[in-house]
Amino acid sequence: MKSLRILVSVVLLSLATLSFAQTDAQKSFDQMKTLAGTWQGPVAVDPPMQGETNGKPIHVSLRVTSRGNAIVHEMKEAGTPDDPTRYDDPITMVYLDGDRLLLTHYCDAGNRPRMAAKVSPDGKTVEFDLIDVAGNVQYGHMQHAVFTIVDANHHTEDWTFNMQPGDKPMHAHFDLQRTK
């Protein structure tokens, strides 16, 4: 009987440890779910790209899907026709994988970088770092993303695109206001 109590205590302690390991990822995922909706705001690109203008409005849509198990993030330049064969229209999926919060970015450059999250102590910033990339990286790939929740109707996104080896990475900052 005593050994059964010890075994039950060890199992409960193990389960408690496992749930704490998942807590940060789950909290970050739940926090990101609050961003579901449509957003618009200016983009600042550094260094500026030829043909691109800082301050152009960007449209971002976030939607919780798959019975709450994933978030679909879609971005495009505001006012562009809905034709992803001619205009940038990258899709990003955010999801839990065990005790990790992951992001897979389906890039217009033809690749799929996968990133893992870490959360800030205040819980309002979720930062994703590159794990690996599938597909062609000839034209570069996303390597870093940061989502910062300012309030229920305002958040920022920072995306870093790694160009060719030796080139300076491109950084894009989106200052987004909720439209819906």
**46 lies in which domain range?**
38-178
151 assigned to some structural domain:
yes
Please list the alpha-helical segments (H only) found in 107-156. none
29 assigned to some structural domain:
no
Structure tokens at 158: 């920072």
90 assigned to some structural domain:
yes
94 assigned to some structural domain:
yes
Structure tokens at 177: 């206001």
pLDDT digits (tens, 9 = 90+) for 156-172: 999 999 976 667 899 99
Of the two residues 24 and 71, the one the predictor is more confident about is 71
Cis peptide before 47 (omega within 30 of 0): yes
130 assigned to some structural domain:
yes
pLDDT digits (tens, 9 = 90+) for 78-118: 888 777 767 778 999 999 999 999 999 999 889 999 999 99
What CATH number is given to the structural domain containing 142? 2.40.128.20
Residue 96, exposed/middle/buried by CB under 10 A (0-12, 13-18, 19+)?
Answer: middle
31 assigned to some structural domain:
no
Distance CA 117, CA 107 (A): 18
Domain count, the chain: 1
13 assigned to some structural domain:
no
- pLDDT, residue 23, reads 72
170 assigned to some structural domain:
yes
pLDDT digits (tens, 9 = 90+) for 107-142: 988 999 999 999 887 789 999 999 999 999 888 999
- pLDDT, residue 43, reads 94
